[in-house]
Every structure is written in C-alpha cells, then in structure tokens.
C-alpha cells in the first residue's frame, strides 16, 4: 500500500497549532472534514473513537512519530492524513520523545488488512531517517505531498 492510497492530500497540515494529543487529533480530523474525506456530522464521534483508542495505549511508535487511528463505520475505505508539529507534542510514546509527525487513520471496521498495510507502509518508510527529517522540516503541505509521492515511487510494495 502506498501513501497515495490513503492520504487525503487536501487534509495535509504542515504546521499544527495544537500542543496536546487531543488538540492535534481534533485539528487533523477537522482537516479530513474540510477535505471532504469524512462527514462533518461524524467529526465528534470519530474524535471520541480515536481518543478512546489512545486510552488503551499510546499510538506514539517512537522516533517522534504517532499513528492515532480508529475504525469507524462511516467510512467505506481507509482515509488518512499527515500533520507536522514543529514544537512537538507529548504523546506518551514508548521512547518518551515528543511527537512531531502524525499519521491519522480512519478505517472501515471490516478491513483490518488494509489498516495493517497502511501501518506497514508508514513504519517502513519512516525507517529512513532522511525521510523523517525532511517531513519534519517541510515548509508547507505541498512539500509533504511531494515527499510522500517520492517515497511512493521508490518504495517497492511488499
């Protein structure tokens, strides 16, 4: 699976304002609403579901990366977006590092395989430290979009 298969380009944020976990999740979910990927009526329910998932254990997976996510019956395909926080946000990650890079995913309840493959793609690409660093220093959403496209074209689907 590639980034272009699930990242809503119009919802990419290069500068999140929020300084808390919930704040970032709200900003990113709102971006998905604005981009037309999810319905405004589902906003609150999706935010709550993502927060509930965070309560079970942080999705901060290390190296300044978090993948907040949930299943939600309102989506018929996996949708997601990317955001960068320049100051970093405390996400209770395993390695204790503040998170600067966020990949938020909302998937249909009956597609666990797609969700796993999106996580696989994200984690595989982020093993490349240069890619991580470039994403974190992106000046605008278009830069992020280009970095994701470049990663997609290099990455051999596994």
Partner 1 sequence: MGSQEDMVSREVVVGMPQGLHARPADQLAREARKWQSRIELLNDTQRVDGKSILEVLTLAAEAGTRLIVEATGPDAHEALEAIGVLFDRNFNEQENTEGR
Q: Provide the Cα torsion 66, 19, 16, 129; round to 10°.
A: -40
Using the minimum distance from each CB to partner 1, give the nearer residue, 38 or 141. Answer: 38
Using the minimum distance from each CB to partner 1, give the nearer residue, 65 or 82. Answer: 65
Using the minimum distance from each CB to partner 1, give the nearer residue, 26 or 69. Answer: 69
Give 28-60 as a DSSP string: HHHHHHHTTSS-GGGHHHHHHHHHHHHHTS--E
Residues 6+ apart with CB under 8 A from 68: 21, 24, 25, 28, 50, 53, 54, 59, 102, 104, 105
Among 41, 56, 129, 153, binds partner 1 (CB under 8 A): 56
What binding mask, one character per residue, do residues 63-82 give for partner 1 by CB under 8 A, x or -? x-x-x-xxxxx---------
Contact window for partner 1 (CB under 8 A) among 5-13, 27-35, 46-54, 76-84:
46-54
Give the nearest distance from C-beta 116 to partner 1 in angstroms: 5
Give the nearest distance from C-beta 108 to partner 1 in angstroms: 10
Closest CA to 72 of 39, 101, 103: 39
What crossing angle do the helices spanning 129-136 and 112-126 adopt, rounded to 10°? Answer: 90
Among 19, 96, 113, 140, binds partner 1 (CB under 8 A): 113
Tallying the residues shown for the chain, one arrives at 158
Report the interface residues with partner 1, using CB under 8 A. Answer: 45, 49, 52-53, 56-59, 61-63, 65, 67, 69-73, 94, 109, 112-113, 115-117, 119-120, 122-124, 126-127, 158
């Amino acid at each position: 699976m590639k980034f272009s298969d699930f990242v809503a380009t119009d919802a990419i944020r290069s500068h999140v304002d929020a300084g808390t976990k919930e704040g970032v999740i709200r900003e990113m979910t709102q971006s998905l609403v604005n981009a037309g990927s999810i319905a405004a009526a589902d906003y609150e329910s999706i935010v709550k579901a993502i927060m509930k998932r965070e309560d079970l254990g942080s999705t901060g997976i290390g190296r300044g990366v978090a993948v907040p996510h949930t299943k939600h019956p309102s989506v018929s395909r996996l949708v997601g977006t990317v955001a960068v926080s320049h100051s970093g946000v405390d996400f209770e990650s395993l390695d204790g590092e503040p998170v600067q890079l966020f990949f938020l995913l909302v998937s249909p309840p009956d597609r666990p395989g797609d969700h796993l493959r999106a996580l696989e793609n994200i984690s595989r690409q982020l093993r490349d430290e240069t890619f991580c660093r470039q994403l974190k220093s992106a000046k605008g959403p278009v830069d992020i979009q280009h970095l994701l496209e470049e990663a997609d074209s290099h990455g051999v689907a596994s």
